[in-house]
Structures are given as C-alpha cells and as structure tokens.
Structure 1
Amino acid sequence: MKKLFFLQAIGLFFGVGQSAPSAQVDVAPRDLEKRGPTCNTASNRRCWSDGFDITTDYEAKIPNTGVTRRYEWNITQHTDWVGGDGLPKDIAMLINGQFPGPIVKADWGDWVEVTVRNQLECEGTSIHWHGIRMLANAVNDGANGITECPLPPGATKTYRWRAEQYGTSWYHSHYSSQYANGLTGSIQIEGPASLNYEEDLGVFPITDWYYGDAEALQRSLIPRPGAAPRSDNVLFNGSHVNAQGGGEYYRVKLKRNKRHRLRLINPSVDNHFTVKLQNHDMTVIATDFVPVNSFTTSQIFMAPGQRYDVTIDASQTPGNYWFNVTFSGSQACGNSWISDTHPPAAIFQYDTVQPGTPTSQGTAPPDSKCEDFISYTPVVEKNVPRGGFSATEDNTLDVELVNKPWENFPERVYWNVHGSTMNITWEDPTLEYIAAGDLDFPERYNLHTFSGDWAYWIIENTSGIPHPMHLHGHDFYVLGRSPTVDSPFVAPFVPFNPATDISKLRFDRATRRDTTMMPAKGWVVLAFRADNPGAWLFHCHIAWHAGQGLSVQFLERVADIPGTVQLSDIEPVCTQWTEYYATSQCLQFDSGL
C-alpha cells in the first residue's frame, strides 16, 4: 500500500481533494441564528421549520439550509500549561489555545467545514466528530488508520460534513489517547426538542483531567496489570477547584421560575459518573443525538462519549445549589483523586441571589453500578426485524483481557475482541485499501463484514470491567443486555443464552443511541441498519482501552464504498504522513486509535 503514496504527483502533496460544493451561504460560527421561516419558540419547541418538526425522521429527511459553517483551527502544544483548575499539566495540546476547544455550532441541515492545522511538535493528529452520521461520507469521519492517515506536523486539511442530526455532541482526536491532553470540544446543532423551555444554557462538558502527559500514561499501562489510572481532577466546562485549595467552582446561573435546557456531555478518557443537581429534578429530552419522549429523574449516569439533553425548572427556593459528580462504589468504571479532598461539583445559582457556596450538601444518588438507563422510548419510534436475528459465532464478539507479546514488547496487556487485537497501521487506512481495490486486509485490522439490510451483534464481556461501547456512522438499537452484577471482579461470566435470553430482547420501539454500556461478566445485544457504506469503528470509549486494542471495524456495503471515496480524497495527507513518519521520533506504540 505504501508504494501507492509515492507514485502521486507533486501537485497532490498539499491539501485534501474535495468534491465541488453547491452554492452555499457562508455564516460566521458566532452568528448562530435560524434562517428562513421558523415555528420554534419557547412555547413550541417541537416545531422547527416548514415541513420539519420533532417527529421528522432525520435518517429520511433533513432541511436544506444552503449554509456552510466554516471554522479554522490551529492545534498547538504547551508544556506545564496551567488549566482551569489552577495547576499545571505536563503536556497540553489545545485547539486555538483553549480548553475545552471551540464549540462547533450549526443548524440542522447545515454543512460544516473545519480546517485543521497541526502545529504539534512531533505527533500526528486527527479529529473525529463523535456521533455524526457521516452518511456516504466515511472519509471525513476522522479515525486515523481507518478513514484517513494522521495529519503530520506542519500540514493542513479540511473536514466537511453535514449536520444530518441535531442536538448535542463533541469532537476529539482519534490519534492514540491524545485527547487526554486536551484535544476535545463540543458540538451544538440547533433543532426541535420534545419539551418546551425558555432558556438554553448551552453545552456543559464534564471531563476527567490528568496532569501527566497522555502518552506517558498510556505507556504505563503496557505491563501488568494494565489498569487505568485515576484521574487527577474532574473539570466542569474546563474549571474546578484543585486538591491544594486553588482554582474555582464553575458557576451556572438559573433564571427564577424559568425552564432551562442543559446539554450534558461526558468527554472523559476513563471516568464514568452520576450527575445530580441537589433539590432539583432533571427531565431528559435527548440521549446522544436521539430525541426521546421526556422523562424525569433525580440523577443521570453518564459513560464516556454519552450526552444527555435535559431541562431544569428553576422553581425551588432561590439560592446556590451543588451540581455533584459521584462515582460507583466498585470503582470498576473510574475514579478521581480529587474525590479524596473536594468532591467534584459545580454551583448552580439563581439569578436573584448573590454568588456563594451552597450551605446544604444534599443527598448522594444511589450507586449506578456502572449501568446506563435504557428503558426509554425515542420520539421517532422504530422497530427492528425479529426474523433477522440469530445467535451465531459469526455475530458474537467476545471481549477478553490478555497478556501477549507485541512487536518489541515481550509481554503487554491487551484487549482481544473475537480473538484478535486491533492494531492499525497509520499510513495504510482501511478506506485507502478499498479505494485502491484491495480487500486483502491484515488480520490485526480486526475487520468484520456482513450482508443484509440489518446487522445484529452480541458482544460478550468476560472481564470484570464494564465498557462504554461506541459505534461510528450510526445510531444503534439497544435490544437488551444482561443484569448488572454486584461484585464484577469475582462474579462468574454469564454468556448470552439463546434459549432463555432472546425472549428478553426488545425489538419494538427499542432504545437508540451511539454509545452504551456493556456490563461486566455479561453481554449486550445491538442492532443497526446497514445503510451507510464505509469502514466504521466500533470501540470501547475508555481511551486507554481503545489504545490497548478494544476495537473492531465493521465493513459495510463494500461494493458501494468506492462510490463514496476516491484515492484523491485520501492520498494527499497520506503522502505527507508517510514521508514525515519515515524520520519521525514519535512512533506508534499502541493500537493507534
């Protein structure tokens, strides 16, 4: 495959080939305003514009706004960077010098173009747009080694994608565990909602934070036991107090007697947590990018990669209230050192009172046991064909923790999926193979193909660690999963049993999202419609585990992929990367993802 890159004309060396766009209206990112007739008001959030509302299936129909949102990003590297908690981080990698990165804002149906310039000292990079469907557009998915080569230092490329869904998401580097150094940000796509509200508080990312360098931390997981490190802090929209007493709590203002929309995001590397606003309920209106029939709860468990759009009624006694983050008692899904001194929290303040520290600690939520809630119903209800499902060896993916040699390491901790560990080659992405007409993939690419209109997968977890599983290019249907066990590290593994478990699956009006939990010592069954040609990554969203190989690729509608991607879309950056990497000092030491 490498020979193909060196045969390219010099004129392909710079930039990335793109299909000619239709006539577009450029709108600056800061000018987030709805264009054309709209019926979306505080008293009618279900409506959006003529012919589009909350009941519109965005997989079948999206608005044609004629608008392209353009962004320009510089990715830079900083040593001993002082973050929003007041303490230095060894190595920070930032977009336009900020953390979190710039918010990508658009309206439903807009096109988004982001030009990325890599100014890192040594490492390549890529940007993945988490949850974005990328229909027939896998080449812009941003998964290096799968859909593209990494962008080398000094190079520039432009990603182009359409806001086919609406709601809340985030983006991050997919180059090893690089996003643990700060390469993340939020996505806010305006559209209808399943519940009325007056105020939109915007995105609210809550993330673990590590003072050490991401590569150093990932390398520390090579020998046994290979366990994920505790985070040093938890940041709320980039801020929090630190263990030494510095920093400050992030503060959100509520307008008394108003209903507020809050867009919760967990862009963590490892930490799963439960969030709770003391003395207030939250009403969930969307999970990931899927609008749901609203339901009210006092707390929400959030795995890495998951998003929840909620509304909050500011109807309590005016004051300052804790917004708390708590961890599962088993510590099977992460913890943070900051919990030992300052329980992670933000402050929600009514606008009629002075800022202050809440006087009531409130009550802790029940232990989540690392389990996300799946018993809700999407607004747009869909059914999964029952007749297409069967339990076979071909559609069962077993996840196991192993120790084995890898290149120059005599033994290292790795995750096997279906007997193989993901280990891509950055300079030979899967889509480049396909565009070149080569379907002879290395075994370590962990590729799975399937036929038919629907894909059904049983994922079984033999380990005592639950995993947040994320699929690129799709919303999947969560058909069912095994019960959560109380003592996952000592409990026996319980595989999927067709004789007793098929009847427990929910095929009608099933929950949809793009990230869900796979329980420890058990199983989860997922389905998705095979309608998006491409190579789509399915992986654990604990970044350390993805680096340890916990991923597979789904190769979908292979015959249709060449019609969606050309060699000229991929090779310009791949040529630059291959030439740069030949003399680079920053070499691949993990799965590459």
Structure 2
Amino acid sequence: MAKNTAMLINGGFPGPNIKANWGDKIKVRVVNNLRTNGTSMHWHGLRMLNNNQNDGVNGITECPIPPGASKTYEWRAEQYGSSWYHSHFSDQYANGIAGTIQIDGPTSKNYDEDLGTYSITDWYYKSADEIRSTFTAPAAVPASDNILFNGTNINKNGGGNYSRVTLKKGKSHKIRLVNMSVDNTFMVNLVGHKMTVTGTDFVPVKPFETDSLYLTVGQRYDVIIDADQDASKAYWFNVTFPSNRLCGTSNMNKPAAIFQYEGAANGLMPKDAGKAPTDSQCQDKTDFEPIYSVDVNSTSFAKTQDDTLDITVDTSRTTGTQQVFWKVNGQNMDINWDQPTLSYLAKNSTDYPDNYNVFEVPADNAWAFWVVENLFPAPHPMHLHGHDFYILGHSEPASSGRGDGVRFNAQTDVSKLNFKNPTRRDVTTLPGRGWLVVAFKTDNPGAWLFHCHIAWHVSQGLSVQFLEQTDKIMDTVRAQDMDDMCNQWQTYSKKAPYPQTDSGLRKLKM
C-alpha cells in the first residue's frame, strides 16, 4: 500500500528548499493550483518583525488563497538557522504541502562541509480529511504508515529506497534536522557518531555534544557530525519513539536512513543496529544555552488567572457524529476564513467572537508570561508565531494513570523556574498532565498564533492568538492587499463545490 494522492509543491515532496543569507529579503509567489481547496503558506519560526500580514495564517492574518489565485509573500531573513514552511489551511500540510528553509549565517563551531536541510516526516497513506473523519475519541489517532527522510524511505513491503547521506572521511559536516511531522515526535541518533548541536530552532547555542536528539513536531536542530569512523562501513541513522507512545508511533518497524562515507560501495548496508537512546518520555531538553544571552525579569512574574491557559479535551455529537474538541480555558478556536482577525482591526473593531480565542498581551516592550496547564495525559508541542519564547520551566513528564495531573503551584514551583538566559526556541513540549511556563517580550505588533503543532489537535481547536500592540498593528499592514485577497476568497467560497468544515485552526462548533 502507498499514498496514491498527495498535494505537492512544484511536483515534489518535500517542496523546494528555500536558501538565503542572513539579512536577505525573500519573496515567494504561491500559486494555488488545487482544484477545491484554499491554501496559505506559513514560514515557521520566522519572526516577521512588523510584518504580521505575511505570517500566512488564514483566518487570522489573511483570507485563504482560492484555487486559481496567487499571493506573493515578502519577508526579511532576520534570523539564521533552519526551519520549514507549510500550508496553514486546515491540516492540509499532512497531504504534502511543506518544505525546508535554510538561512546561512555565523556558526558557533567550525565545519568543513554543509549537507543542507534534512527533513524527517511522518507519512500517512490516507488523506488528512479521511484520517480526521475517524476521530471519535482523543486517543483515536492512527500510527503513521511510514517515516520519510528528505521525502523517501523503504516501505513495509520492501519497496522504495533508503535515504542515503555521504560523508567525507576526516571532515566535519553540518546538517540541519527538521521535524516536519503531523503528529510524530522522534528520538534520532547516528550509530557510531556523536552530534554537536550549534542551533535550536532559530537560536544559536553554545556547542553541546550528544549521542541522540529529541525532535518534537516543528523543532529543528543544526548539528555538526565528524566523519571519524571506519570509511568502509555504512551506519544507520535511526528514529525511535518514546516508550509511552503518547507522542507518536509508526507502523514502520525500523524507520531509518543510511549514512556512508565517500568511496564506499554502492548499496552498502549497515551491520551494526546500534543502541536505542535513553527514553525521553516525551519531554525535550530545555537547558541549551543561547549564545546571545538574555535574562528575563523575574520580578514581573506572577501567576494570575488572566495569564493561565488550561487545556482540556471534550467530545460532542454534531449531526450524529461524535467529534473531539481541544479547548483552551473552555473554548476551542473556531475562526472564520472570510473574516481574519486583521480585518476586524482594519475596521477599528475589537469585537471578536469568543471562539477566536483572542488574548491581549501587556503594554509595549514588556514581558508577557504564560502558564500553560495540560489536564490530559498526552503532551503537546506548543509553537508560538512572531517570537522565540523563553522556556522558564516545566513539570516532569507525566506518570501513567488518569486524573487532572499537576498544576503550577505559585508557592512551590516559582523556585524551579530559570530566569537567567533560559533556553529560547519557538517550539517546546507541554508535558502530559503537567505545566509549562514561557515568556516573550511584547516588541512585535500583530495577531500571533500560539498552538499545538500536532495537526489533528490544532484542527480540533487547540489554539489561541495573542494580540500584541493592538494600536500599532494596522500601521504594519497593507490593508488593500488583504481586502483584495479576501474579495477573491469570498467570491470563490460562495460557489465552492465542497463545504469547508476545518481550517487547521477551526472545527465545527459544539
């Protein structure tokens, strides 16, 4: 069995790698040749400073691009490192609309060869719509059918081909690992070799040597690998999953790629299976040290009801079918493609529907703190648009069993938080039945999405949007461009052949 139908960019998966230098201005024209779907393109992790309109989130920063139309996105490469881009229309990127981004800049450790981006992706033979229609309970998420490395792998029946990477003996190689998955978190390791981490998401860090890495959905690592082993052998690049199966699993028994040395025989196969890395229990490492040091003002932190986000899950029957809804503070997000958040601001209105899940953040250039509490056993890879967030602390991975789990205790848990140059990135794991505390500086006007990056969960409502410097947002927006696209979308949607029930941010109301 294989995937017979996909949505592709320029005919391939992954889509073309976008490569630029730090400081470059990038323009990308997106043409929607799909027959019946709108689309948009989000540039994951890109700060989009004073450029909210190009963030690519339909229903928030724009109306979708209708079939037959196009949009040109423009942005400055204000960070360097590795990332990816993907559709933000429904859970559409699960069908193949995604690619990598490489922005070259300084490095905290020298290397000889640049191997570019290396995407790792869960792959499903059914379409996203087919899979989503089967969800009648929070745990009813299917295992992926395969794991692809830069778009390829063998399948369970022996068809296909391994991804192969060639190393040069005695040289050091930079490779950019990107988890472009829909649901799966990975532990990765290269048998016989260590990896030196130099960047986490778009944040340069002091070099750190490790045998394995944890990559949850949306995370990236820039690593350097020294080719210092036997050049006559091939080596497995292994993917394994946390044993609790709470953050992804696959029907592919041994997902792996092959690294070999220049001059090795064609088709050489590894012999050493290697050892499984330490079980992460679905919790990522949060003690990387950013090179550009920033301390967070601890005196302004205080847990209140207004800056606490409680995540719960409910099921409900709609038109006879049971559906799953992930809620934040009792509300699953339910945006309207025809009326993105920025269109409200263009009309000087802040009368958003409650299910837009809008949270206004503090005054300009202030610290915004958010305590996120998860009342369900499954962890969530939380992603913030428009910022890197500062990871101040989190609870330990959830123990087995049921119940509300561990809430943040302002009396006893503040001492566990790190305010001195904490790890920064744009995706981190909210533990199952536990808590996470993050902070960011309110220095970027816009409506910025904060959501779980499991495509099924964001589809089912697990999102909020932070409205930042509300009075300055429209100064950064070309309102006429937004209106023109919305007019095209609204004209199309009136005659759309299929009802649109999910935007990747939106699910039918309870």
TM-score, reference length from structure 2:
0.96
Once the 2 structures are TM-superposed, how far is the Cα of residue 502 of structure 1 from its aligned partner?
0.5
Residue 359 of structure 1 aligns with which residue? 271
CA contact (8 A) 2:123 2:145 kept: yes
CA contact (8 A) 2:88 2:503 kept: no
* Alignment counterpart, residue 391 of structure 2, candidates 459, 468, 478: 478
Aligned ranges 1:16-165 → 2 under 5 Å: 88-165=2-79
Once the 2 structures are TM-superposed, how far is the Cα of residue 335 of structure 1 from its aligned partner?
0.5
Q: CA-to-partner distance for each residue in 1:421-476, whole Å, 9 max, x for gaps?
A: 10111110001111121110001100000223111000000000000000000000
Residue 457 of structure 1 aligns with which residue? 370
* Alignment counterpart, residue 233 of structure 1, candidates 132, 139, 146: 146
What's the C-alpha RMSD, in Å, of the aligned pairs?
A: 1.2
* Alignment counterpart, residue 507 of structure 1, candidates 416, 419, 424: 419
1:256 lines up with 2:148 in the alignment: no
TM-score, reference length from structure 1:
0.83
Once the 2 structures are TM-superposed, how far is the Cα of residue 389 of structure 1 from its aligned partner?
0.7
Once the 2 structures are TM-superposed, how far is the Cα of residue 317 of structure 1 from its aligned partner?
1.6
Residue 347 of structure 1 aligns with which residue? 258
AA at the equivalent of 1:588: Q
Give the secondary structure class of the aligned counterpart of 2:217: coil
State the distance in 1 between where 2:446 and 2:462 align: 20
CA contact (8 A) 2:397 2:431 kept: yes
Once the 2 structures are TM-superposed, how far is the Cα of residue 156 of structure 1 from its aligned partner?
1.0
CA contact (8 A) 2:92 2:504 kept: no
* Alignment counterpart, residue 279 of structure 1, candidates 192, 197, 219: 192
Give the secondary structure class of the aligned counterpart of 2:7: strand
Once the 2 structures are TM-superposed, how far is the Cα of residue 583 of structure 1 from its aligned partner?
1.5
Once the 2 structures are TM-superposed, how far is the Cα of residue 567 of structure 1 from its aligned partner?
2.1
CA contact (8 A) 1:118 1:153 kept: yes
Matched length: 501
Residue 440 of structure 2 aligns with which residue? 528
State the distance in 2 between where 1:172 and 1:308 align: 18
Once the 2 structures are TM-superposed, how far is the Cα of residue 409 of structure 1 from its aligned partner?
5.8
AA at the equivalent of 1:569: D
* Alignment counterpart, residue 381 of structure 1, candidates 273, 280, 293: 293
Residue 538 of structure 1 aligns with which residue? 450
1:422 lines up with 2:336 in the alignment: no
Q: CA-to-partner distance for each residue in 1:228-270, whole Å, 9 max, x for gaps?
A: 2111000000010001111111000000011100100000000
Residue 65 of structure 1 aligns with which residue? none
State the distance in 1 between where 2:102 and 2:504 align: 28
Give the secondary structure class of the aligned counterpart of 1:136: coil
AA at the equivalent of 2:92: Q
CA contact (8 A) 2:122 2:181 kept: yes
Give the secondary structure class of the aligned counterpart of 1:498: coil
Residue 396 of structure 1 aligns with which residue? 308
CA contact (8 A) 1:485 1:491 kept: no
CA contact (8 A) 2:398 2:405 kept: no
CA contact (8 A) 2:311 2:326 kept: yes
Q: CA-to-partner distance for each residue in 1:382-419, whole Å, 9 max, x for gaps?
A: 0111111100000000001111355x466421101011
Give the secondary structure class of the aligned counterpart of 1:338: coil
Once the 2 structures are TM-superposed, how far is the Cα of residue 491 of structure 1 from its aligned partner?
6.0
State the distance in 2 between where 1:332 and 1:268 align: 15
Once the 2 structures are TM-superposed, how far is the Cα of residue 485 of structure 1 from its aligned partner?
2.5
Residue 61 of structure 1 aligns with which residue? none
* Alignment counterpart, residue 281 of structure 2, candidates 365, 369, 374: 369
CA contact (8 A) 1:256 1:351 kept: yes
Give the secondary structure class of the aligned counterpart of 1:416: strand
Provide structure 1 residue ranges, at least 5 long, that are not aligned to the other structure. Answer: 1-86
AA at the equivalent of 1:140: N
What percent of counterpart residues are identical?
Answer: 53
* Alignment counterpart, residue 118 of structure 2, candidates 195, 204, 208: 204
Range moving further from structure 2, 478-487 or 297-306: 478-487
* Alignment counterpart, residue 218 of structure 2, candidates 299, 305, 314: 305
1:217 lines up with 2:131 in the alignment: yes
* Cα 1:307–1:335 shift into 2, 3 Å: same
CA contact (8 A) 1:460 1:522 kept: yes
Give the secondary structure class of the aligned counterpart of 2:188: strand
* Cα 1:442–1:405 shift into 2, 3 Å: farther
Once the 2 structures are TM-superposed, how far is the Cα of residue 556 of structure 1 from its aligned partner?
0.3
Residue 236 of structure 2 aligns with which residue? 322
State the distance in 1 between where 2:139 and 2:280 align: 24
